[in-house]
Amino acid sequence: MAAHPVDEKLPALKMATSGLQHVAAMYAGVVAPPLIVGAAVGLSGKDLTFLTGACLFTAGLATFLQTLGFWKIGARLPFVNGVTFAGVAPMTAIVASAKDKSDALPMIFGAVIVAGLLGFIAAPFFSKAVRFFPPVVTGSVITLIGVSLLPVAFGWAQGPNPAAHDYGSTTNLALAGVTLLVVLLLRRFTRGFVKQIAVLLGLILGTLIAIPFGVTDFSPVAHSAVVGFPAPFHFGTPTFHIAAILSMCVVMAVSMTESTADMLALGEIVERPADEKTIAAGLRADTLGSALSPLFNGFMCSAFAQNIGLVAMTRIRSRFVVAAGGGFLVLMGLCPMAASLIAVVPRPVLGGAGVVLFGSVAASGIQTLVRAGLEKDNNVLIVAVSLAVGLIPITAPGFYHAFPETAKIVLDSGISTGCVCAVLLNLVFNHLGRGEDAEDVTHPMEAGQELTTAH
Evaluate whether residue 453 is within a structural domain: no
Gap between the Cα atoms of 116 and 252, Å rounded: 7
Evaluate whether residue 57 is within a structural domain: yes
Q: In this predicted structure, what is the pLDDT of residue 448?
A: 41
Evaluate whether residue 214 is within a structural domain: yes
Q: Please name the helix (run of DSSP H) or strand (run of DSSP E) that holds residue 83, with its range, or none.
A: strand 81-83
Sorted by sequence, the CB contacts under 8 Å of residue 428 that are 6+ apart come out as none
Gap between the Cα atoms of 425 and 349, Å rounded: 39
Candidates 330, 256, 283, 255; CA nearest to 77 is 283
Sorted by sequence, the CB contacts under 8 Å of residue 143 that are 6+ apart come out as 362, 365, 366, 368, 369, 387
Counting the structural domains of the chain, the total is: 1
For 233: left if phi > 0, alpha if psi spans -120 to 50, otherwise beta; the answer is left
Q: In this predicted structure, what is the pLDDT of residue 312?
A: 80
Q: What is the DSSP code (8-state) at residue 227?
A: -
Gap between the Cα atoms of 94 and 104, Å rounded: 7
CB 308 within 8 A of CB 361: yes
Reported as a single tens digit per residue, the pLDDT across 299-357 is 888 887 767 877 887 788 888 988 998 898 888 888 877 666 666 778 898 889 888 87
Q: In this predicted structure, what is the pLDDT of residue 213?
A: 87
Gap between the Cα atoms of 308 and 126, Å rounded: 22
**Tens of pLDDT, residue by residue, the chain (455 residues):** 667 888 888 888 888 888 887 887 777 667 767 877 887 787 776 777 788 888 889 999 999 998 888 888 988 888 888 887 667 767 877 887 777 888 889 999 999 999 999 999 989 888 887 677 778 887 887 788 778 778 878 988 998 778 888 888 999 999 999 999 998 998 888 876 677 677 778 888 998 999 998 888 777 677 667 777 778 888 888 888 887 888 788 778 777 877 887 888 888 888 888 888 889 999 999 999 999 999 998 888 888 776 787 788 778 888 898 899 889 888 888 887 766 666 677 889 888 988 887 787 788 778 878 877 787 888 899 999 999 998 998 888 888 888 887 677 667 777 778 888 888 999 898 877 654 444 544 444 444 444 343 33
Q: In this predicted structure, what is the pLDDT of residue 446?
A: 44
Q: For the chain, how big is the Rg over CA atoms in Å? A: 22
Query: CA 108, 141, 247 angle in degrees (round to 5)?
Result: 20
Evaluate whether residue 449 is within a structural domain: no
Q: What is the DSSP code (8-state) at residue 225?
A: -
Evaluate whether residue 452 is within a structural domain: no
Evaluate whether residue 236 is within a structural domain: yes
Gap between the Cα atoms of 91 and 104, Å rounded: 9
Q: In this predicted structure, what is the pLDDT of residue 149?
A: 75
Gap between the Cα atoms of 322 and 59, Å rounded: 12
Q: Strand locations in 270-376, DSSP E?
A: 301-303
Q: In this predicted structure, what is the pLDDT of residue 406?
A: 66
CB 74 within 8 A of CB 284: yes
User: Count of CB atoms within 10 A of residue 88's CB?
Assistant: 18
Evaluate whether residue 454 is within a structural domain: no
Domain that holds residue 29: 5-444
